[in-house]
């Protein structure tokens, strides 16, 4: 590696800087057809199968408060099993908003959410990172801040998420405070709220109240929390408690069955969707018992399981098909939905990672997902977040964004008028229409190298991992902090200081995806 290829040189940096625009793209408004692989009768077949499961098999709510809540609305409850009548389910989910605005601290970065809109949210929950030198190690709060800065600098990412990586240099029992502060401080985009315990979720709500105002939250979504189910058909106390903390403050949660297809679901794509759908409906229904009309998001974490090794797999055909089907079910119930994007099991940022991520990105866009989580950095089945992959994935989201917007017809007449100007055998590079439109007409990826092999070799034979790490270093050098209001910043820090005095420093891991 020559220093020239590593740094790109002073003039190259200047050129990069002059074209750098980190303004966030608005929420994607999709304008391509949805890939709907089920006809109306098949959608109803899934619905009926899910309702049969809810009524006859039931769902375990392993939480005394939830059990009481279900009894209070007249559900049949036997021990921890709740039998959900289909009429009750339909009536409960009917009050979930079809769409809402997801607020950021920078109002210019507010996001219309639901229906034709999609947003890209980085990965979260990695216990390791591959860092700026591609070294795999445990992350720190500084590493987390780095990812929040990179999310801020990536125009197609709509959120700084929350614990992109787990900061191991801070006690786990207090970590949610520092994670939330980091999300709020280093970016003014939307962010996610930690749901690692009911108490932690309350802290997040209190910090949101400092940032946005208690009463504003009563009628505006300012964060999202994720609640994983334990498939098949179980919701636990931690997740249900966190769900209550969010819903009581009118903040949306993602109701996410955690599916390892074939291991905790039947070995069938439609039957897996039927079970997952039942699980999602049970949690979505519960959000409306907690607070009628509270926004909620149909979620899922979806992998299939290798019957050779038991390992989760991603980028497989069934993941695509299930995404198409889940999208149809969410639309059937008129509820916005979440999916996962760049899942994969590669250990390094090799071609496997590229295939897995691109296959999934394409599928979730054709599926019409609203909340496209894990959109940057995911590798090794979520065990690490890769800086290099984060950068490339973020550009892939920008490319997927442009694809999903559909073709642009605005300049069609003038563009076609160039054809007689040029005529057979000519070329268009000097034509005024080309000069005016080439920047916007065809996406030019920064991270893909399309030069000749001779040019590439002359520049040091740099593969994509190192190119992306160079880009990450450049972006971090250019990062400008979107300053928090000083009074709010002080109030947040005072809240954290108080809570860190109150909460014993413990280190058991209780992680949500």
User: Does the protein bind a copy of itself through residue 381 (CB under 8 A)?
Assistant: yes
Nearest CB to a copy of itself, comparing residues 28 and 184:
28
Q: Which two tokens stand for residue 202?
A: 């309350």
User: Does the protein bind a copy of itself through residue 341 (CB under 8 A)?
Assistant: no
- Taking CB under 8 A as the binding criterion, the range among 70-78, 113-121, 184-192, 257-265 that sits at the site for a copy of itself is 257-265
| DSSP letters spanning 114-154 | ETTEEEE-----BSEEE-TT--EE---HHHHHHHHHHHHT-
Residue 269: partners with Cβ closer than 8 Å, 6 or more residues away: 261, 318, 321, 322, 325
User: Does the protein bind a copy of itself through residue 348 (CB under 8 A)?
Assistant: yes
Q: Could you report how far apart the first and last alpha carbons of the chain are, in Å?
A: 37
To a copy of itself, the closest distance from the beta carbon of 36 in angstroms equals 6
To a copy of itself, the closest distance from the beta carbon of 442 in angstroms equals 4
Whether the Cβ atoms of residue 155 and residue 22 lie closer than 8 Å to each other: yes
Q: In what order do the strands lie in the sheet with 117-120?
A: 28-29, 117-120, 371-373, 338-340
To a copy of itself, the closest distance from the beta carbon of 170 in angstroms equals 24
Closest CA to 258 of 219, 285, 288, 227: 227
To a copy of itself, the closest distance from the beta carbon of 304 in angstroms equals 4
Tokens 């691109």: give the residue.
Answer: 358
469/75 Cα distance (integer angstroms): 54
Radius of gyration of the chain (CA): 24
The CA-based angle 390-471-389, given to 5 degrees, is: 20
Nearest CB to a copy of itself, comparing residues 20 and 307:
307
Closest CA to 276 of 262, 292, 296: 262
Binding to a copy of itself (CB under 8 A) within 263-282 occurs at: 263-271, 274-275
Distances in whole angstroms, Cα of residue 411 to Cα of each of 178, 417, 441 = 49, 10, 10
Nearest CB to a copy of itself, comparing residues 418 and 496:
418
User: Does the protein bind a copy of itself through residue 336 (CB under 8 A)?
Assistant: no
Among 115, 132, 248, 355, binds a copy of itself (CB under 8 A): 355
Number of residues that bind a copy of itself (CB under 8 A): 128
To a copy of itself, the closest distance from the beta carbon of 336 in angstroms equals 22
Nearest CB to a copy of itself, comparing residues 213 and 310:
310
- The 156-195 contact track toward a copy of itself, x by CB under 8 A, reads ----------------------------------------
Nearest CB to a copy of itself, comparing residues 119 and 217:
119
What are 136's strand-pairing partners? 130
Among 423, 477, 487, 502, binds a copy of itself (CB under 8 A): 423
Among 353, 376, 387, 475, binds a copy of itself (CB under 8 A): 353
Nearest CB to a copy of itself, comparing residues 280 and 392:
392
Binding to a copy of itself (CB under 8 A) within 220-239 occurs at: 230, 232-234
Nearest CB to a copy of itself, comparing residues 65 and 383:
383
The CA-based angle 414-420-426, given to 5 degrees, is: 110
User: Does the protein bind a copy of itself through residue 321 (CB under 8 A)?
Assistant: yes
User: Does the protein bind a copy of itself through residue 354 (CB under 8 A)?
Assistant: yes
Nearest CB to a copy of itself, comparing residues 252 and 344:
344
To a copy of itself, the closest distance from the beta carbon of 308 in angstroms equals 6
Whether the Cβ atoms of residue 110 and residue 221 lie closer than 8 Å to each other: no
Tokens 């966030």: give the residue.
Answer: 24
Nearest CB to a copy of itself, comparing residues 200 and 323:
323
User: Does the protein bind a copy of itself through residue 430 (CB under 8 A)?
Assistant: no
Among 74, 425, 477, 504, binds a copy of itself (CB under 8 A): 425
Q: In what order do the strands lie in the sheet with 136-137?
A: 136-137, 128-130, 384-386, 378-379
Q: What is the DSSP letter of 337?
A: B
User: Does the protein bind a copy of itself through residue 300 (CB under 8 A)?
Assistant: no
Among 16, 43, 141, 418, binds a copy of itself (CB under 8 A): 418
Among 325, 326, 330, 469, binds a copy of itself (CB under 8 A): 325
Residue 377: partners with Cβ closer than 8 Å, 6 or more residues away: 122, 123, 126, 147, 164, 342, 385, 386, 387, 389, 390, 393
- Taking CB under 8 A as the binding criterion, the range among 181-189, 200-208, 379-387, 475-483 that sits at the site for a copy of itself is 379-387
| DSSP letters spanning 233-258 | TEEEHHHHHHHHHHHHTT--EEEEEE
Nearest CB to a copy of itself, comparing residues 211 and 391:
391
Among 5, 101, 138, 437, binds a copy of itself (CB under 8 A): 437
**What is the maximum span of the chain, computed from C-alpha positions, in angstroms?**
79
- The 30-49 contact track toward a copy of itself, x by CB under 8 A, reads -xxx-xxxx---x--x---x
Whether the Cβ atoms of residue 181 and residue 492 lie closer than 8 Å to each other: yes
Binding to a copy of itself (CB under 8 A) within 50-89 occurs at: 52-53, 56-60, 81
Among 132, 403, 476, 493, binds a copy of itself (CB under 8 A): 403
Binding to a copy of itself (CB under 8 A) within 116-145 occurs at: 136
């Amino acid at each position: 590696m020559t220093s020239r290829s590593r740094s790109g040189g002073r003039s190259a940096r200047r050129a990069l800087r002059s074209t750098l625009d980190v303004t966030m793209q608005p929420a994607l408004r999709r304008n391509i057809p949805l890939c709907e692989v089920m006809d109306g009768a098949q959608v109803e077949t899934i619905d009926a199968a899910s309702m049969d499961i809810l009524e006859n098999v039931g769902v375990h709510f392993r939480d005394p408060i939830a059990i009481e809540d279900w009894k209070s609305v007249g559900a049949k409850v036997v021990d921890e099993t709740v039998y959900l009548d289909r009429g009750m389910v339909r009536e409960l989910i009917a009050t979930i908003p079809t769409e809402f605005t997801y607020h950021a601290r920078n109002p210019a970065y507010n996001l219309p959410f639901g229906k034709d809109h999609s947003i890209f949210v980085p990965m979260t929950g990695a216990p390791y990172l591959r860092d700026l030198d591609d070294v795999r190690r445990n992350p720190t709060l500084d590493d987390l801040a780095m990812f929040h800065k990179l999310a801020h600098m990536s125009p197609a990412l709509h959120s700084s998420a929350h614990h992109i990586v787990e900061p191991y240099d801070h006690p786990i029992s207090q970590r949610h405070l520092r994670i939330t502060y980091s999300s709020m401080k280093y970016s003014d985009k939307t962010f996610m709220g930690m749901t690692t315990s009911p108490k932690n979720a309350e802290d997040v709500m209190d910090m949101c109240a400092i940032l946005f105002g208690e009463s504003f939250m009563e009628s505006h979504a300012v964060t999202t929390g994720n609640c994983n189910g334990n498939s098949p058909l179980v919701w636990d106390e931690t997740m249900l408690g966190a769900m209550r903390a969010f819903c009581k403050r009118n903040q949306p949660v993602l109701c996410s069955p955690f599916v390892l297809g074939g291991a905790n679901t039947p070995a069938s794509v439609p039957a897996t969707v039927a079970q997952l759908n039942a699980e999602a409906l049970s949690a979505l229904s519960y959000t409306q018992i907690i607070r009628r009309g509270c926004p909620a998001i149909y979620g899922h974490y979806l992998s299939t399981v290798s019957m050779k090794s038991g390992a989760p797999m991603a980028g497989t055909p069934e993941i695509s098909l299930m995404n198409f089907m889940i999208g149809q079910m969410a639309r059937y119930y008129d509820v916005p939905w979440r999916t996962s994007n760049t899942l994969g099991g590669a250990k390094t940022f090799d071609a496997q990672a590229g295939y897995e991520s691109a296959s999934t990105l394409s599928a979730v866009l054709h599926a019409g997902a609203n909340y496209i989580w894990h959109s940057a950095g995911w590798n090794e089945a979520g065990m690490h977040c890769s800086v290099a992959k984060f950068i490339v994935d973020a550009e892939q989201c920008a490319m997927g964004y442009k694809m999903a917007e559909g073709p642009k017809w605005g300049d069609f007449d003038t563009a076609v008028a160039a054809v007689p100007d040029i005529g057979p055998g000519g070329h268009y590079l000097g034509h005024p229409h080309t000069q005016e439109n080439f920047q916007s007409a065809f996406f030019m990826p920064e991270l893909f190298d399309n030069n000749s092999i001779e040019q590439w070799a002359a520049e040091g034979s740099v593969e994509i991992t190192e190119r992306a790490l160079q880009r990450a270093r450049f972006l971090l050098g250019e990062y400008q902090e979107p300053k928090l209001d000083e009074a709010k910043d002080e109030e947040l820090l005072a809240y954290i200081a108080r809570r860190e005095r109150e909460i014993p420093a413990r280190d058991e891991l209780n992680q949500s995806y």
